[in-house]
Amino acid sequence: MTDQRFVADLNSLESRRRSSGQLAELARRGQLKGQRRVAEYKAPASGGGGISSPLTETSAAARTHWPEQTLTSSDGLFTFAIKPVKKVTLRDADNAEVEMIYAQPPTA
Protein backbone atom coordinates (compact mmCIF):
# COMPACT_ATOMS: atom_id res chain seq x y z
CA MET A 1 0.00 0.00 0.00
CA THR A 2 1.41 3.37 -0.94
CA ASP A 3 1.44 6.41 1.32
CA GLN A 4 -0.89 8.28 -1.00
CA ARG A 5 -3.38 5.40 -1.03
CA PHE A 6 -3.25 5.22 2.79
CA VAL A 7 -3.97 8.96 3.11
CA ALA A 8 -6.81 8.66 0.59
CA ASP A 9 -8.34 5.79 2.61
CA LEU A 10 -8.11 7.79 5.84
CA ASN A 11 -9.72 10.81 4.17
CA SER A 12 -12.58 8.65 2.87
CA LEU A 13 -13.44 7.73 6.47
CA GLU A 14 -13.91 11.36 7.41
CA SER A 15 -17.65 12.15 7.41
CA ARG A 16 -17.31 15.90 7.06
CA ARG A 17 -15.01 17.40 4.50
CA ARG A 18 -12.66 20.15 5.52
CA SER A 19 -12.99 23.47 3.82
CA SER A 20 -9.99 25.63 3.19
CA GLY A 21 -11.25 28.91 4.60
CA GLN A 22 -9.79 32.25 3.74
CA LEU A 23 -8.57 34.62 6.42
CA ALA A 24 -10.41 37.90 6.76
CA GLU A 25 -8.59 40.75 5.11
CA LEU A 26 -7.35 43.37 7.54
CA ALA A 27 -7.49 47.10 6.92
CA ARG A 28 -4.19 48.49 5.79
CA ARG A 29 -2.08 50.24 8.38
CA GLY A 30 -2.67 53.97 8.54
CA GLN A 31 -6.20 53.98 7.05
CA LEU A 32 -7.91 54.66 10.37
CA LYS A 33 -7.72 58.23 11.60
CA GLY A 34 -6.88 59.06 15.19
CA GLN A 35 -9.85 59.75 17.43
CA ARG A 36 -10.20 61.76 20.61
CA ARG A 37 -12.14 60.52 23.62
CA VAL A 38 -13.01 62.11 26.96
CA ALA A 39 -13.23 60.33 30.32
CA GLU A 40 -14.38 61.96 33.54
CA TYR A 41 -12.22 61.58 36.62
CA LYS A 42 -14.02 60.06 39.60
CA ALA A 43 -12.28 60.48 42.93
CA PRO A 44 -12.00 57.32 45.03
CA ALA A 45 -14.52 56.87 47.82
CA SER A 46 -13.33 58.35 51.09
CA GLY A 47 -12.79 56.21 54.16
CA GLY A 48 -11.96 52.54 54.24
CA GLY A 49 -9.77 51.34 51.48
CA GLY A 50 -7.21 48.96 52.62
CA ILE A 51 -5.08 47.70 55.41
CA SER A 52 -2.56 49.91 57.16
CA SER A 53 0.61 48.12 58.05
CA PRO A 54 1.98 46.84 60.29
CA LEU A 55 -0.37 43.99 61.08
CA THR A 56 -0.13 42.78 64.67
CA GLU A 57 -1.51 39.59 66.15
CA THR A 58 -3.11 40.52 69.46
CA SER A 59 -3.53 36.99 70.81
CA ALA A 60 -2.08 33.70 69.63
CA ALA A 61 -4.79 31.94 71.66
CA ALA A 62 -7.44 33.42 69.32
CA ARG A 63 -6.17 31.36 66.37
CA THR A 64 -8.43 28.61 65.07
CA HIS A 65 -7.10 25.40 63.57
CA TRP A 66 -8.10 22.73 61.07
CA PRO A 67 -8.41 19.14 62.39
CA GLU A 68 -5.16 17.46 63.35
CA GLN A 69 -3.24 15.71 60.56
CA THR A 70 -0.48 13.13 60.74
CA LEU A 71 2.42 13.57 58.33
CA THR A 72 5.04 10.90 57.70
CA SER A 73 8.47 11.56 56.21
CA SER A 74 9.17 10.13 52.76
CA ASP A 75 11.41 7.41 54.23
CA GLY A 76 8.78 6.49 56.84
CA LEU A 77 11.10 7.07 59.81
CA PHE A 78 9.41 10.16 61.24
CA THR A 79 5.78 10.93 61.98
CA PHE A 80 4.49 14.40 62.87
CA ALA A 81 1.10 15.41 64.24
CA ILE A 82 0.18 18.95 63.18
CA LYS A 83 -2.87 21.19 63.55
CA PRO A 84 -2.83 23.54 60.53
CA VAL A 85 -3.86 27.15 61.22
CA LYS A 86 -7.33 28.00 59.92
CA LYS A 87 -7.81 31.64 60.93
CA VAL A 88 -5.67 34.38 62.49
CA THR A 89 -7.12 37.67 63.73
CA LEU A 90 -4.86 40.70 63.43
CA ARG A 91 -5.05 44.45 64.10
CA ASP A 92 -3.71 46.98 61.61
CA ALA A 93 -2.12 50.38 62.35
CA ASP A 94 -5.60 52.02 62.35
CA ASN A 95 -6.77 49.48 64.98
CA ALA A 96 -9.10 47.83 62.45
CA GLU A 97 -9.58 44.06 62.73
CA VAL A 98 -8.17 41.97 59.88
CA GLU A 99 -8.84 38.25 59.47
CA MET A 100 -6.48 35.96 57.61
CA ILE A 101 -8.37 32.78 56.66
CA TYR A 102 -6.35 29.89 55.25
CA ALA A 103 -7.54 27.00 53.07
CA GLN A 104 -7.67 23.52 54.51
CA PRO A 105 -4.52 21.64 53.46
CA PRO A 106 -5.01 18.33 51.67
CA THR A 107 -4.77 15.22 53.81
CA ALA A 108 -1.80 13.00 53.09
Tell me how far apart the alpha carbons of residues 107 and 66 are, in angstroms, rounded to a whole number.
Answer: 11
Total domains in the chain come to 1
Tell me how far apart the alpha carbons of residues 5 and 26 are, in angstroms, rounded to a whole number.
Answer: 39
Would 90 be classed as within a structural domain?
yes
**What per-residue confidence (pLDDT) applies to 103?**
95
Q: Which domain holds residue 76?
A: 65-97
Closest to 82 measured CA to CA, from 99, 94, 70, 90: 70
Q: Which of the residues in the chain have pLDDT under 50?
A: none
Would 70 be classed as within a structural domain?
yes
Tell me how far apart the alpha carbons of residues 69 and 79 are, in angstroms, rounded to a whole number.
Answer: 10
User: Average pLDDT of the chain?
Assistant: 84
Would 17 be classed as within a structural domain?
no
Within 13 Å, how many C-alpha atoms sit on residue 100's CB side?
A: 14
Would 84 be classed as within a structural domain?
yes
Contact 99, 87 (CB under 8 A): yes
Would 10 be classed as within a structural domain?
no
Would 50 be classed as within a structural domain?
no
